[in-house]
Chains A and B, each alone.
Chain A
Amino acid sequence: MSIGASLKRLEDYNLVTGRGQYVGDLQFPDQCEAVIIRSPHAHAIIRSIDAEEARGLDGVLLILTASDLPDDLRPIPMRLSPDPILEKALQYPLAKDRVRYVGDPVAVIVAKNRYVAEDAADFIHIEYEVLPPVTDAVQSLEPGAPILHPDAGTNEMYLIHGRKGEAAERLKTCEHVLEEELYVQRHSGIPMETRGLLALCDEDERLTVYGAAKVVHFNHQLMARLLNKNIDEIRLVETDCGGGFGPRGEFYPEDYLIPFAAIQLKRPVRWIEDRLEHFKATNHSREQKHRVTVGFDGDGRIYALRDEIFFDQGGYIRTHGTTVPSLTQAMFPGPYDFSDIEIVTHLVLTNKTPVGTYRGPGRFEGTFVRERVIDMVAAHLKLDPTIVRERNYIRPEQMPYSNGLSALGQVIEYDSGDYAETLDRARKFMGWEQFAGKQSRARQEGRFIGLGFASFVEKSGFGPWEFAEVEMRPDGRVICKTGLTEVGQGITTTLAQICSDQLGIPYSDVSVVHGDTALVEKGNGSFATRGAVVGGSAAWHAAGLLKEKLLKVAAEQLKVPVDMLALKDGGVVYAEAGQAAMPLEELLTICSDLGISLCEKYTFHIEHMTYPYGCHAAEVELDPDTGALQILKYYIAYDLGKAINPMLVEGQLIGGMAQGLGGAMYENLKYDEIGQLVSGSFMDYLIPTSMEVPEVTTEILENYPSPLNPLGVKGAGEGGTVAVAPAIANAIVNALQEYAIPFTSLPLRPERIREALKQMKPER
């Protein structure tokens, strides 16, 4: 059986030998290169663009400004959660008369190579009339704040209101009420490979575009629509991809501009985003302010929860529409059973780079806020924070459980799970019972140590469907075509294991084909931890249909009932005894002689998401003089129903943790008051290195397989990320119990810890 085995990845041979083919590795004859000119101002009117001098430069082939694009060009629409209200703030591929963030694309230069294109950029003269910018979501709502999109008439593009029961009324009757303001900073996926595209256009104006990722089929349709072409005149091809994490693969201005330039020139046009450009151009994420009120009793049982969220969208609505704020809101209660909830989210425009999803969208933010609040409730009552968690968990017998809130067109309904068990395991592993003693002994030695916990519920398996086509070739090798895409998560190996399991052949005999609109007829792509759940189930069914067909033929030949047979070890066997009945080779010859097609397709539909869950725990040590934080021990318990490949699941959890750690402690897309991004390079946007990321212990549980898919899987992509910040923040607070420092905003930088310690006197 391949499912459940930690098999080595099929992807890796090419990648460890330098034979990978990332988009920047491709080269075609006559290839030229594009550079995008971007606004240096956060908010300005474009008065004029003079490109004459640049056009005259040797090697410059094409210069495009908004006036060179078709008059009837539509802005880039939303992919998820579209809403007509938001359409007034969509982004055009090139800014027409006004720029709204530093990095807003204003012109494109194509030259024989990037060096020359960058030279030419110096000779383009753009006159701007600078307008006052707004860089804070709360200030953006104040009267008199500059309005970004005059047509919309307001910077508050959307208001999401979710409720269950009567939170306001309930709060009045609660024994204790806590109000807090919490903040999560702007940061993003920052994959190691920046985005890139290579578009080829032949004499008949047929396009081939390399470098697609994540949602290839969706972008295929959108590209055709925006370029006013038939879908069969365009082919999108996914190359190797150096990290996805949410931002990569959405439809950006460049996904229109580069193919458009290739059509104009009838030459291959390449664009590889440079790192400085990436920081300004690719979706940011996460920035939110929360004003939370909770009402609870003396035992820590929380009854009412109210939250007002200010979501900083940046200058335009991008392809996700309201997805991130909707998910923040709907997943905010997490694993807890609160009877009365009211959440209001303001989606607000500011003069900053537009935002989209990043691993654990909405949940990273909400989990930080909620899990800090749980510890605050515990601190207020002087209770053990893990006991407060326990007292509020949804219990297994309450499943399926709906928290009454909705996102992505469906009410949140947890299918199964035992949240207390993951906390129990975390407490045991971390030695929580003995920790107070250890902590006071450490303190006597002058050491500040602390232990923090954070529970979470993730979501996975976003539908509505995914497609697979499984074909067995005459040589016994299997081709599995999938609508999913590979962003480094190992979907190739995962699907090969699923097919191998169904067909009784080695997983290395399965070739997985993905992300090519000419080869895979349809697909929704890889995002929202949907790969194994929806795409895996599609492959399971398609391979299952193929298995049935093969066994039927074998049964007829062997003149035995079909249910006596199975596929195993590369042949047909008698199911009960396991002895060989017919070699696969012979069966394939028979099928071929009979003209039986061995290709099956399956579209797996899923109506509802599924919900993995778990608990993070961190033990930290603080240096009171410098504020430096060291993670002594880190643990994640994660129940995902079923792991197809536990090694890959562990890789997702640990890698996800490292990204969560970046968001918790280091990464910050910081703007100054005039809207300049002041942390726009790796010199000042700090990604955790091998020295910051600790050894992480993971425990993968399979106690509650999902009832919603045949594999029982619940997905592994995001659970490593979402609870890191509160686990560490709670550990810091635990280490500094007597200081009453709130630690309500991210990132938890050492200088903040040090400053706070200097200013605060211990509460005695």
Chain B
Amino acid sequence: MTEKTAESSRLKTITLKVNQKEYTVDVEPRMLLSDVLRDELRLTGTHVGCEHGVCGACTIMMDGRPVRSCLVFGVQADQADIVTVEGLESQDGELHPLQNGFWEKHGLQCGFCTPGMLMTACHLLEHNPDPSREEIREAISGNLCRCTGYQGIVDAVEYAAKEMRERAE
């Protein structure tokens, strides 16, 4: 039930690190982390496709794990270390191999699911540097894409994995 009280009394102050940068914001406890990132911090690379945790478009990395930011309240992210799509590029603007992979292999069309896909794939490659196509498919199966039929995305992740392995050698 909504209280007709002054909003300020409901606000909570949270501090979070996003893409290596510290932010302190006042948010209503009910505000979703996806809305905090997009509307308060103006990091709009994280997209919201369903707000019920199915489509995966809003996937971010929170304390090293892929998380659906539409299923987390901002206040739950207090003190968290978050990486969004904006944090994938290196400081000098060099694209992450996954970003290059998606571009090279036509891993996107409308691009709306892409940030979430990139974050999910990022987590996969951190834990499995040489995934099979089946493993890639399984890893991204919680992220819906309506454009590509996934094949280009699988190609892209495969491409990036190879690139990253070669770099590591």
Contacts and interface: CB of A to CB of B under 8 A. Distances in A.
Given A8-B104, A683-B54, A655 B149 contact: yes
Contact of A16 (B50, B57, B118): B118
Interface string A689-704: 1110101100000000
A9 B106 contact: yes
B44 A192 contact: no
Nearest to A244: B110
A651 interface: yes
Contacts of B150: 658, 689-690, 693
Contacts of A57: 2, 4
Interface of A: 8-9, 11-22, 24-25, 27, 56-59, 113, 115, 119, 122, 189-194, 240-245, 274-276, 487-490, 647-648, 650-651, 654-659, 681-683, 687, 689-691, 693, 695-696, 720
A24 B48 contact: yes
B84 A22 contact: no
B37 to A, nearest CB: 11
Contacts of B103: 8-9, 12-13, 16
Contacts of B142: 689
B122 interface: no
Given A16-B108, A682-B55, A689-B141, A242 B47 contact: yes
Interface centre among A13, A25, A119, A192 (most CB of B within 10 A): A192
Contacts of A687: 144, 146
A689 B144 contact: yes
Contact of A647 (B48, B106, B118): B106
B45 A192 contact: no
Nearest to A194: B49
Given A18-B115, A57-B4, A58-B4, A651 B148 contact: yes
Contact of B44 (A13, A24, A648): A24
A189 B52 CA distance: 19
A173 to B, nearest CB: 46
Contacts of B85: 16-18
Contact of B110 (A17, A241, A683): A241
Contact of B52 (A27, A658, A682, A720): A682
B111 interface: yes
B137 A15 contact: no
B138 interface: yes
A496 B48 CA distance: 31
B137 A193 contact: no
Contacts of B51: 274-275
B106 A243 contact: no
B61 interface: no
Interface centre among A27, A57, A275 (most CB of B within 10 A): A275
B75 interface: no
Contacts of A657: 149
Contact of B146 (A276, A647, A659): A659
A631 to B, nearest CB: 12
A265 to B, nearest CB: 19
A245 B108 contact: no
Interface centre among B85, B136, B140 (most CB of A within 10 A): B85
B127 interface: no
Given A191-B146, A245-B146, A488-B147, A15 B49 contact: no
Nearest to B139: A690
B151 interface: yes
Contact of B102 (A16, A25, A244): A16
Interface of B: 2, 4, 6-7, 28, 30-31, 38-39, 42-52, 54-55, 57, 84-86, 88-89, 95, 99, 102-104, 106, 108-115, 118, 133, 136-138, 140-154
Contacts of A241: 110
Nearest to B115: A18
B44 to A, nearest CB: 4
Given A193-B47, A654-B148, A693-B149, A16 B106 contact: no
Q: Main SS of chain A's interface residues?
A: loop
Report, nearest first, the 3 A-B pairs whose CB atoms are least far apart.
A18-B45, A488-B110, A242-B112
B141 to A, nearest CB: 5
Nearest to A57: B4
A681 B54 CA distance: 9
Given A243-B147, A654-B152, A689-B141, A24 B50 contact: no
Given A192-B146, A682-B55, A693-B151, A15 B28 contact: no
Interface centre among A22, A240, A690 (most CB of B within 10 A): A690
Nearest to B49: A192
Contacts of A16: 85, 95, 99, 102-103, 108, 111, 114, 118
A512 to B, nearest CB: 16
Nearest to B6: A58
B30 A115 contact: yes
Contacts of B48: 24
A24 B140 CA distance: 24
A24 B51 CA distance: 14
A30 B118 CA distance: 33
A659 B109 CA distance: 14
A20 B147 contact: no
A695 B152 CA distance: 10
Given A25-B38, A243-B110, A689-B141, 15 more contacts: A13-B103, A16-B95, A16-B114, A18-B115, A24-B38, A24-B47, A113-B39, A193-B49, A193-B112, A240-B111, A487-B110, A655-B149, A656-B149, A657-B149, A690-B136
A18 B152 contact: no
A448 to B, nearest CB: 22
B152 A651 contact: yes
B47 A22 contact: yes
A242 B112 CA distance: 5
Nearest to A241: B110
A489 B108 CA distance: 10
Given A192-B110, A690-B154, A18 B44 contact: yes
A488 B104 CA distance: 16
